[in-house]
A = this chain, B = another copy of it.
Amino acid sequence: MAIKAAVDETDPLLAKHNRTISKSTSQLALVGSRVCPIESLDFEIAEIELLNQDLRARNVRVEFFCYLILKWALCFIIGVFSGCVGFFFNLAIENIAGVKFVITSNMMLANRYLWAFGVFVASNLVLTMFAAIITAFIAPEAAGSGIPEVKAYLNGIDAPDIFSFRTLVVKIAGCITAVSSSLHVGKAGPMLHTTACIASLLGQGGSCKYRRRCRWLRCVKNDRDRRDLVTCGAGAGIAAAFRAPIGGVLFVLESLSSWWRSTLLWRAFFTTAVVVVVLRTLIHFCKSGKCGLFGKGGLIMFEVTAESVSYNLVDLPPVIFLGVIGGILGSLYNFLLDKVLRFYTHINEKGRVYKLLLAACVSIFTSCCLFGLPWLASCRPCPGGISEACPTIGRSGNFKKFQCSVDHYNDLASLFFNTIDDTIRNLYSAGTDRAFSKYSILLFFVTSYFLGIVSYGLVAPSGLFMPVILTGATYGRLIGMLMGSHSTLDHGLFAVLGSASFLSGSMRMTVSVSVILLELTNNLLLLPLVMVVALISKTVADCFNTNIYDMLVKLKGFPLLQRHTDSYMGQLTVGDVVTGPLQMFNGVEKVGNIVHILKTTGHNGFPVIDKPPFSESPVLYGLILRMHLVVLLKKRCFLSSQINTSEQFSADDFVKRSSGRRDSIDDILLTAEEMEMFVDLHPFTNTSPYTVVETMSLAKAHLLFHQLSLRHLLVIPMLNSRMPVVGILTRHDFMAEHVLQLHPFLVGGRSKLLQFRKSTEFLRDIC
């Protein structure tokens, strides 16, 4: 009995009231261009008695079938929507940008050059400002490419509003105007974010905020299913952007997702297949000329038409050289982008006006470059014996007239005075080895490289893929020209290889780059060359820094749970890291205590302990979630003392319908009388949380935490102590910053470790 008394004395509820909460559980991150608190997602299967009872009572079989059919139907719908969105993006961009180029060209044809310049700059500025204003005022979350946010979500980080309806609309409108405004930004990243958004909104049955929720769609009741849908959505986005169904799936598998299983592969593949079929149908419809200026434009494959690509060992040295160059330029690109983004962050912090001013400056600068630089090139006579029109005055075509006289064209204008898609097509086209001069290509390469860097951090939806592909194609072609007669490869092919090298140099993808380029150019025989280039570039670039998405994720402050463990983790045990004081509940707990703890802490999971009056010694009963406690309090199903609770709950009450905002404890007002009552937590507790012993090394606990994608990991004592739980590990406990703050003595070793890590970063990554 003496022991029991002692245990009662150290009631954690009493103990903690006197202490301060040492660990904040919700952290801040830059989502799009807005700083907001982030939460973790819950992927664990909770074994709660109430839910189990509910499961037994229902007709599981029928429900399972319905659930399954709905899941596939959702994938189908995501595919259809993504296909349509992809098509709409291209249609809108081609038409808006096309009209702009046609008007400007016509003015130049009438020798009104200053007017043309004015119209060009003004229209670009208006389009850019529209994108920037809606992004800054309506949905700052829509800024940037969105890929870092999706990556963080798939890793288990829930940032508010990244998948909201508002973000979706702004992302679509903003991306279309930003790309049409000739800013040096891409559409693939925003497209991925858009389709991921669609997937998430469909999964939660519509928008929560605007209360437009379809009832029968509300079946996706947990974060796991939602994660799967977003994964499929992300794949669909890339598939829609590049018309690459396999490439899309592989991109998600290689670069985005933190967990994968083979059944998901099938579902993602189904989604991308639907996307491609929809796109094909829509493009087929457009071939009859019903889509305005869209036709020869975007989404048509970049065909490398050299009928039979043949290459032999002589071609290997330039290809390897290209790989090395790509690696160096790619890592430099990442480095510079990082610096520029940090600088932009300072400006953006000053307020919206500064953000908009920055966007305006970049837009005007870009317009000046695009319109001004082509004047540096001399006019070249049109080559004879080609099927294409030369010079062309409209918007597409390899040979732009610009300021030149009849039968002459300006090669720099063909590159600058075009949409990014058209320029890439020009660079990829075969049999045009003599169409561009070396100096034009060099000038364009330098401009494109730096415009890409200064354009990304603006407060507007902007992708990185297309600028990177374009810049890569430019120096690829340049190297092809420098090789001259030493190589038999077509310069268009060199441009493709250049794109591959720069993509893997900055984004560090190899498999998906190879497959996307394969599907983009429809040439299987290129594959071995592209693979060689991609592997070399990634290896070289990994010597210098990390890939662009990880860099952005870090810059934005998302606490990404890495797959690998740092070596210092092996030297610490779980007990070294776990911090107190721990908040616990008794199996039957006083309402006042629950309310107090919920209000004073930000924790999301609390251990439930059965204490001596109800059990022999303190025993861990399970883990209860904040969300479920709030539901309990809201329903006010309290006991005056100890009779069993009347079952007025249905499993549906405990479902997590969407990510983002939920009911808060502050919304619940209880009377003083109610505060003195009790509530039985047992039926609502997850009875089988994962546990680790406090002596386990942090590295192995990290492995467990990551592999099972947990949110809470309970730490139990090694010795029979009075308390059955030592603490709870969450995502933040595994972050290097947190660990090093707790163990400053590691910092010395850490700096060595850091050094070691830097030099072997790429090694750990690939082994």
Contacts and interface: CB of A to CB of B under 8 A. Distances in A.
Nearest to A616: B719
Contacts of A766: 68, 72, 263, 266-267
Nearest to A310: B284
A447 to B, nearest CB: 33
Contact of A696 (B72, B532, B535, B688): B688
Given A522-B524, A532-B273, A262 B266 contact: no
Interface stretch (A246-254, A453-461, A596-604, A657-665): A246-254
Nearest to A280: B528
A309 to B, nearest CB: 12
A52 interface: yes
A309 B532 CA distance: 30
Given A45-B703, A273-B535, A277-B532, 13 more contacts: A61-B760, A64-B760, A67-B767, A71-B767, A246-B527, A267-B766, A270-B535, A518-B524, A519-B524, A687-B695, A688-B700, A691-B693, A693-B716
A620 interface: yes
Given A691-B692, A693-B691, A700-B688, A531 B273 contact: yes
Contacts of A719: 616-617, 619
Nearest to A696: B688
Contacts of A692: 690-691
A617 B720 contact: yes
Given A52-B570, A524-B522, A515 B246 contact: yes
- Determine how many copies of this chain the complex contains: 2
A720 B718 CA distance: 11
Contacts of A270: 531, 535
B697 A703 contact: no
Contact of A767 (B263, B276, B280, B690): B263
A329 to B, nearest CB: 21
A42 interface: no
A696 to B, nearest CB: 4
B765 A563 contact: no
Interface string A259-286: 0111101110110010011001000000
A704 interface: yes
A276 B527 contact: yes
Interface of A: 45, 47, 52, 61, 64-65, 67-68, 71-72, 245-246, 249, 253-255, 260-263, 265-267, 269-270, 273, 276-277, 280, 510-511, 514-515, 518-519, 522, 524-525, 527-528, 531-532, 535, 563, 570, 616-617, 619-620, 687-688, 690-693, 695-697, 699-700, 703-704, 707-708, 716, 718-720, 756, 759-760, 763, 765-767
Residue in A688, A692, A699, A707 with the greatest tally of chain B CB atoms within 10 Å: A688
B277 A528 contact: yes
15 contacts: A61-B756, A64-B763, A245-B527, A246-B527, A254-B265, A254-B266, A260-B260, A262-B563, A269-B511, A277-B532, A518-B524, A620-B718, A687-B697, A688-B700, A703-B708
Nearest to A509: B266
Nearest to A759: B61
A505 to B, nearest CB: 15
A139 to B, nearest CB: 31
Contacts of A524: 518-519, 522, 524
A148 to B, nearest CB: 17
A657 to B, nearest CB: 20
A423 to B, nearest CB: 24
A563 B261 contact: yes
Nearest to A243: B524
Would you call the interface of chain A mostly helix, strand, loop, or mixed? Answer: helix
A695 B621 CA distance: 9
A687 B766 CA distance: 28
A47 B688 contact: no
Given A265-B511, A690-B704, A697 B47 contact: yes
A529 to B, nearest CB: 9
Contacts of A620: 693, 718
Nearest to A260: B260
Nearest to A273: B531
A720 B616 CA distance: 10
A241 to B, nearest CB: 17
A273 B528 contact: yes
A766 B756 CA distance: 43
Residue in A280, A691, A756 with the greatest tally of chain B CB atoms within 10 Å: A691
A610 B648 CA distance: 49
Contacts of A518: 246, 524
Contacts of A617: 719-720
Contacts of A52: 570
A203 to B, nearest CB: 14
A563 B260 CA distance: 12
A263 B47 CA distance: 33
Nearest to A268: B511
Contact of A531 (B245, B280, B510, B759): B245
Contact of A68 (B532, B756, B767): B767
Contacts of A570: 47, 52
A717 to B, nearest CB: 10
A323 to B, nearest CB: 13
Contact of A253 (B245, B265, B535): B265
A570 to B, nearest CB: 7
A271 to B, nearest CB: 11
Given A263-B767, A697-B47, A511 B254 contact: no
A263 to B, nearest CB: 6
A21 to B, nearest CB: 28
Nearest to A312: B284
Contacts of A707: 707-708
A708 B718 contact: no
A699 B263 CA distance: 19
